Amino acid sequence: MNLTPTVIRAVRPSGLFELQWAEGPLHRVPFKFIRAHCPCAGCINEITGERTLNPETIPDLIEPTAMAPVGNYAVKITWSDGHATGLYTWEHLARIAQAHAGQI
Protein backbone atom coordinates (compact mmCIF):
# COMPACT_ATOMS: atom_id res chain seq x y z
CA MET A 1 0.00 0.00 0.00
CA ASN A 2 1.28 3.45 -0.91
CA LEU A 3 1.33 5.59 2.24
CA THR A 4 1.75 8.93 0.46
CA PRO A 5 -1.40 10.94 1.13
CA THR A 6 -3.37 12.17 -1.86
CA VAL A 7 -4.82 14.99 0.27
CA ILE A 8 -3.13 16.87 3.10
CA ARG A 9 -4.83 20.18 3.72
CA ALA A 10 -5.13 22.50 6.72
CA VAL A 11 -8.67 23.88 6.95
CA ARG A 12 -8.15 26.73 9.40
CA PRO A 13 -11.79 27.88 9.78
CA SER A 14 -12.73 24.44 11.10
CA GLY A 15 -9.44 23.74 12.91
CA LEU A 16 -8.93 20.46 11.04
CA PHE A 17 -6.50 18.72 8.78
CA GLU A 18 -8.06 16.83 5.90
CA LEU A 19 -6.03 13.71 5.16
CA GLN A 20 -6.74 11.08 2.54
CA TRP A 21 -4.91 8.19 0.99
CA ALA A 22 -5.68 6.62 -2.39
CA GLU A 23 -7.32 3.59 -0.86
CA GLY A 24 -9.27 5.18 1.96
CA PRO A 25 -11.77 7.69 3.26
CA LEU A 26 -11.19 11.38 3.88
CA HIS A 27 -10.12 11.89 7.50
CA ARG A 28 -10.78 15.14 9.30
CA VAL A 29 -8.44 15.40 12.27
CA PRO A 30 -8.29 18.35 14.69
CA PHE A 31 -5.07 20.36 14.66
CA LYS A 32 -4.68 19.80 18.42
CA PHE A 33 -4.89 16.02 18.00
CA ILE A 34 -2.10 16.05 15.41
CA ARG A 35 0.02 18.44 17.48
CA ALA A 36 -0.45 16.14 20.50
CA HIS A 37 1.00 13.26 18.47
CA CYS A 38 4.19 15.05 17.47
CA PRO A 39 6.93 12.44 17.04
CA CYS A 40 9.93 14.67 17.87
CA ALA A 41 12.47 14.10 20.65
CA GLY A 42 11.08 17.10 22.53
CA CYS A 43 7.66 15.44 22.74
CA ILE A 44 8.72 11.79 23.16
CA ASN A 45 11.54 10.38 25.26
CA GLU A 46 14.01 9.00 22.71
CA ILE A 47 15.12 6.16 24.98
CA THR A 48 11.84 4.96 26.49
CA GLY A 49 9.44 6.05 23.75
CA GLU A 50 7.23 7.58 26.44
CA ARG A 51 5.31 10.69 25.47
CA THR A 52 6.64 13.66 27.45
CA LEU A 53 4.32 16.26 25.94
CA ASN A 54 1.27 16.82 28.11
CA PRO A 55 -1.64 17.38 25.67
CA GLU A 56 -3.30 19.66 28.24
CA THR A 57 -0.49 22.20 27.68
CA ILE A 58 -1.39 22.59 23.99
CA PRO A 59 -3.55 25.66 23.33
CA ASP A 60 -7.08 24.80 22.18
CA LEU A 61 -6.72 27.20 19.25
CA ILE A 62 -3.43 25.72 17.98
CA GLU A 63 -2.97 25.82 14.22
CA PRO A 64 -0.22 25.21 11.70
CA THR A 65 1.59 28.35 10.57
CA ALA A 66 3.65 26.55 7.90
CA MET A 67 3.97 23.12 6.30
CA ALA A 68 6.84 21.91 4.15
CA PRO A 69 7.44 18.55 2.50
CA VAL A 70 10.45 16.56 3.65
CA GLY A 71 11.61 14.40 0.77
CA ASN A 72 8.94 11.97 -0.35
CA TYR A 73 8.18 10.63 3.10
CA ALA A 74 7.05 13.35 5.51
CA VAL A 75 5.81 16.86 6.22
CA LYS A 76 7.29 19.33 8.69
CA ILE A 77 4.64 21.34 10.48
CA THR A 78 5.36 24.61 12.25
CA TRP A 79 2.74 25.33 14.90
CA SER A 80 1.34 28.56 16.30
CA ASP A 81 2.76 27.65 19.74
CA GLY A 82 6.26 27.94 18.20
CA HIS A 83 6.90 24.21 17.99
CA ALA A 84 8.58 23.23 14.72
CA THR A 85 10.76 20.15 15.20
CA GLY A 86 8.35 17.33 14.39
CA LEU A 87 8.57 15.47 11.09
CA TYR A 88 5.30 13.70 10.45
CA THR A 89 6.00 10.73 8.19
CA TRP A 90 3.19 9.56 5.94
CA GLU A 91 3.00 6.35 7.99
CA HIS A 92 2.75 8.32 11.25
CA LEU A 93 0.02 10.58 9.81
CA ALA A 94 -1.91 7.51 8.72
CA ARG A 95 -1.69 6.08 12.26
CA ILE A 96 -2.84 9.41 13.73
CA ALA A 97 -5.82 9.56 11.32
CA GLN A 98 -6.78 5.98 12.15
CA ALA A 99 -6.44 6.61 15.89
CA HIS A 100 -8.67 9.66 15.64
CA ALA A 101 -11.25 7.77 13.58
CA GLY A 102 -11.41 5.20 16.37
CA GLN A 103 -12.25 7.93 18.91
CA ILE A 104 -15.29 9.25 17.09
Rounded to an integer, what distance in angstroms lies between the CA atom of residue 6 and that of residue 87?
Answer: 18
pLDDT of residue 103: 62
pLDDT of residue 66: 97
pLDDT of residue 2: 67
What does the chain look like in DSSP terms, one character per residue?
Answer: ---S-SEEEEEGGGTEEEEE-TTSPPEEEEHHHHHHT--STTTB-TTT--B---GGGS-TT--EEEEEEETTTEEEEEETTS----EEEHHHHHHHHHHHHHH-
pLDDT of residue 53: 96
As a whole-number percent, the residues of the chain with pLDDT over 70 amount to 96
- Tell me the average pLDDT of the chain: 94
Task: Point out which residues pair with 87 in neighbouring strands.
Answer: 76
| Per-domain residue ranges of the chain | 7-103
Q: Which fold has domain 7-103?
A: NE0471 N-terminal domain-like (3.30.2020)
Q: What is the pLDDT confidence band of residue 102, given thresholds at 50, 70 and 90?
A: confident
* Between residues 78 and 104, the one the model is more confident about: 78
pLDDT of residue 65: 97
pTM of the model: 0.92
